[in-house]
Amino acid sequence: MTRSLAVANAEFQALIRTKFFIVGILLVPVMVVASIAFTNYAEKQGDTERHRIAVIDRTGLILAAIQQAAAAPEAKPTTPVDPEATPDELNTVTKPSNLEILPVEVDGRSLDDVKVELSNQVKAKALFGFVDIPPTVLGDEANDAVTMDYFTENVSNRDVPKWLNKVINQEITRRRFEAAHVDMSLTDRLSKTTRLATRALVERAQDGSVQGSREVHSWETFAVPFGLMYLLMLAVMMSAPHMMNAVIEEKMSRISEVLLASITPTQLLAGKLIGIASVSVLLALIYLGGGIYFAFATGEWALVQLTLVPWFILFLLCAVLIFGSVFLSIGAACSDLKDAQSMMQPSMFFLIIPILMAPIIIGAPNSTLSTIVSLVPTATPFLMLLRLAMTPPPAAWQVWLSVVLTTGTAVLFVWAAGRIFRVGLLMQGKAPNLPELLKWIRA
Amino acid sequence: MAAIELRDVTKQFGQVVAVNALTLDVLEGSIYGFIGPNGSGKTTTIRMIMNLLVPDHGSVRVLGQSPGSAIRDVVGYLPEERGLYKRMTARQVLRYYGQLKGRSTSEVDAAVAEWIGPLQIGDWLDKKVQALSKGMSQKIQFLSTIVARPKLLILDEPFSGLDPVNADVVRSAVLELRRRGTTIVFSTHDMAAAEGLCDRIFMIFLGRKVLDGSLDEIQARYGQDTIRVRTAAGPAALQGLAGIEAVTDFGNYQDVRFNGDSQVLLGSLAARTAVSHFEVTKPSLNDIFIRIAKPPAAQTSITGATGFAGVGR
């Protein structure tokens, strides 16, 4: 065991002292924050193009409303985005930047002539696009046969047509209500929806009083489960492939032969797995600590579920043993990185499955499908953890069965990796195929 | 007592028999040279001794035990192809390799301190391995095999790639270790080193043992049939002379394997050219190696149709 710990210590030191690791620890949260910030910035600042839109208003009644809307500052929400809002509601219409609305006088010309002339102006970049509003749009009822037409070369830009559609239709609706002598402000008030708040269950305290329950926002229900699952994945992926590369390097530089002259392949494998586990746990603790600090600092203490930490560590260790064994076996079996990358692809598939299944499990955590996939040993560390972090949690028998299955699988994988290590580390040349690997394991 | 005992050991890779029914005893405290052409089975034999390979047949005992975990700590091994962690310092590598042999950092440091002077590595211990010259890396690798104070040291090509000065440093270290009682086995293609250092020499060819004994015993077996000559005419003077079985041309002189009366050969040569050196000598290990390992078609010389094996011209 002392020898394995010496290997583990060397691997741990080698990994945490690499620039890759140090930069990686800082870089991941920085990249997440930066990508969010950049997306927000790009949404606001990305499109600085001048949008000159010509309007052929054949009703003669709508142009003014468009010009007024274009001149008005963009309304900003005074309350936070409703957490229960539907995707459509969240899909707010953004007013395009540098908007300029130009009226078009037909002046006895044919409509086609006007459209051709405006199209030439678009081609010449004098206009961004133009819109034709036919007079029939102000009929009493909405008529699917009537369309307004928007002409542009920039068909990929969706902001301009969405904004025009919204502004013009608001004005059409207002005018229809006005024509029907209906007070639009009254209908707005009467048709206002009432928000449905999701809350935790109510409990009666020992003194007989009923405890007020906390409102649970929908993002809370997936932020912690997703966060923990991805953290577990990150912790495995930041250490196991690196160790695989280290094994290949040892093989290529014949260090393996020196190591095996001093310790057994099993001791070497155990040391490397302990090294991976140590790095993964360190990494996870750094991020978990940061997350808990952030939650307390922002008052979101309800997000902190300390009872999940032991499960997280247990499943992290299982994932490290399973995927660490796979990656180390690949390293031992291959003599160069190219072969190793080819062999890695099937194992990456097993890491992608939990990512693909996670949204389904979030939607129905205790469905039959969720139960089955979270009991598949290679997916259990990620998906059972995901379910444990959700409400309602899985049945206890499912959790304990998953622990037994995953632990058993981890032991099996480590044993098989030990067999592959014993043969593969001294092998040179072509990488083995699957039947050969199975032969090594059975040998 | 034998430090290494091989009994009827056979190892096969597919259809190739790498080592065939090999029996060998390496006595404790001796320096044993393993020689043989490339691919003859030396490294396979060494790997079986180190338990890196398991024999298909026969038995291996090292220091009185079956090779395995129990003897790993007292056996030092320098593989043919060197392996050091490039991003570690030399000291870190030595400590790590020492720890893998069950030694504490202080024990390793003490052992390193003993060898800093003899191996001339003082200024380089805290440099990263990737900054070391090839010679210095090899000395560090050599030191890494002895920091755990092994009873048995197995060196696969310890002098390859070393310049004469560093080769001499390592040679001196090997002799010092033998003086301290360490049994040393080394494989080499350097016949002069084997002749100079080894108490006994073992040669393997096509997986079979073909030589095993002291240098004197081996030379006696191959007879005093070698004559070293230097003449004004060079190798041409030897052509067509009766009794010459083979000629190895070293440029300035030729070693002649001769079957007959050496005085007759001297007379014949003197009649042809000026003879500046004529010495009846034992066959060198190099000669014996070539006699055994060179394919028959390439073997030079049959009486009356002398061919020449050029060396170092």
In a domain? residue A197: no
Contact A263 B87 (CB under 8 A): no
Closest chain A residue by Cα to residue B84: A255
- The interface residues of chain B toward chain A in range 82-111, judged by CB-CB distance below 8 A, are 82-88, 96-97, 99-102
Please tell me whether residues A380 and A259 are part of one structural domain. yes
Using one digit for the tens of pLDDT, what is the confidence trace for A293-327?
888 887 777 777 788 888 989 999 999 899 989 98
Please tell me whether residues A236 and A296 are part of one structural domain. yes
Residue A143, pLDDT > 70, answer no
Q: What is the mean pLDDT of each run of 10 residues along chain B (313 residues)?
A: 89 88 90 89 89 89 81 85 83 91 90 87 85 87 90 88 87 90 89 87 89 85 82 89 85 86 90 91 83 63 37 32
Task: Read off the pLDDT band of A140 (50, 70, 90).
Answer: low
**pLDDT, average across residues A51-64:** 91
The amino acid at B226: T
Tell me chain A's radius of gyration from C-alpha atoms: 31
Per-residue model confidence (pLDDT) at position B274: 93
C-alpha span between A239 and A243 (Å, rounded)? 6
A14 vs B: CB within 8 A: yes
Please tell me whether residues A221 and A180 are part of one structural domain. no
Instruction: Report the number of distinct structural domains present in chain A.
Output: 2
Who among A3, A7, A426 is closest to B52 (CB)?
Answer: A426
Domain C-terminal end among A184, A200, A235: A184
Contact B72 A262 (CB under 8 A): yes
Please tell me whether residues A234 and A361 are part of one structural domain. yes
In a domain? residue A41: no
Please tell me whether residues A276 and A177 are part of one structural domain. no
Domain C-terminal end among A144, A161, A184: A184
**Residue A91: how many other CB atoms lie within 10 Å:** 9
Who among A256, A257, A262 is closest to B100 (CB)?
Answer: A262
**Residue ranges of E strands in chain B:** 2-13, 16-27, 31-35, 57-62, 75-78, 152-156, 183-187, 200-205, 208-213, 226-231, 244-249, 254-258, 275-281, 309-310
In a domain? residue A410: yes
In a domain? residue A340: yes
Please tell me whether residues A225 and A175 are part of one structural domain. no
Who among B52, B81, B82 is closest to A260 (CB)?
Answer: B52
Please tell me whether residues A221 and A146 are part of one structural domain. no
**pLDDT, average across residues A236-242:** 82
C-alpha span between B14 and B28 (Å, rounded)? 34
Per-residue model confidence (pLDDT) at position A130: 94
In a domain? residue A237: yes
Contact B79 A258 (CB under 8 A): yes
Please tell me whether residues A175 and A303 are part of one structural domain. no
Contacting residues for A279 by C-beta, under 8 A, at least 6 apart: A11, A12, A15, A16, A21, A238, A239
Contact A10 B96 (CB under 8 A): yes
- The interface residues of chain A toward chain B in range 238-257, judged by CB-CB distance below 8 A, are 250, 253-257
Who among A6, A255, A263 is closest to B85 (CB)?
Answer: A255
Please tell me whether residues A165 and A245 are part of one structural domain. no
Please tell me whether residues A180 and A220 are part of one structural domain. no
Q: Decide if the complex's ipTM is over 0.85.
A: no
Looking up tokens 């969405």, which residue turns up? A162
Residues of chain A contacting B52 with CB distance shorter than 8 Å: 257, 260-261, 426
Contact B96 A2 (CB under 8 A): no
Who among A2, A254, A262 is closest to B97 (CB)?
Answer: A262
Per-residue model confidence (pLDDT) at position B132: 85
In a domain? residue A209: no
pTM: 0.71
Task: Read off the pLDDT band of A38 (50, 70, 90).
Answer: confident
In a domain? residue A405: yes
Lowest mean pLDDT among A87-91, A398-402, B128-132, B236-240: A87-91
Per-residue model confidence (pLDDT) at position B296: 56
The most confident of the ranges A107-116, A185-194, B69-78 is: A107-116
**What Cα–Cα distance (Å) separates residue A148 from each residue in A127, A135, A169, A207, B21?**
18, 10, 10, 66, 95
**Closest Cα in chain A, distance from residue B100 (Å):** 5
- Mean pLDDT in chain A? 82
B54 vs A: CB within 8 A: no
Residue A91, pLDDT > 60, answer no
**Closest Cα in chain B, distance from residue A430 (Å):** 16
**pLDDT, average across residues A363-377:** 87
Supply the CATH number for residue A154's domain: 3.40.190
Contact B72 A263 (CB under 8 A): yes
Domain C-terminal end among A184, A205, A233: A184
Reading the block at residue A329, the tokens are 């076996």
In a domain? residue A26: no
Please tell me whether residues A151 and A262 are part of one structural domain. no
Q: Which of A257, A272, A428, A436 to mutate to test the interface with B (most CBs of B within 10 A)?
A: A257
Which is nearest to B120 in space by CA: B100, B90, B150? B90
**pLDDT, average across residues A389-415:** 89
A314 vs B: CB within 8 A: no
Residues of chain B contacting A250 with CB distance shorter than 8 Å: 83
Query: Starting from the edge strand earliest in sequence, which strands make up the sheet with A149-152, in order?
Result: A99-103, A51-57, A129-133, A149-152
**pLDDT, average across residues A19-28:** 75
Please tell me whether residues A377 and A254 are part of one structural domain. yes
Q: List the domain range (segments joined by +) for residue A167.
A: 50-184
Q: Which of B99, B128, B145 to mutate to test the interface with A (most CBs of A within 10 A)?
A: B99
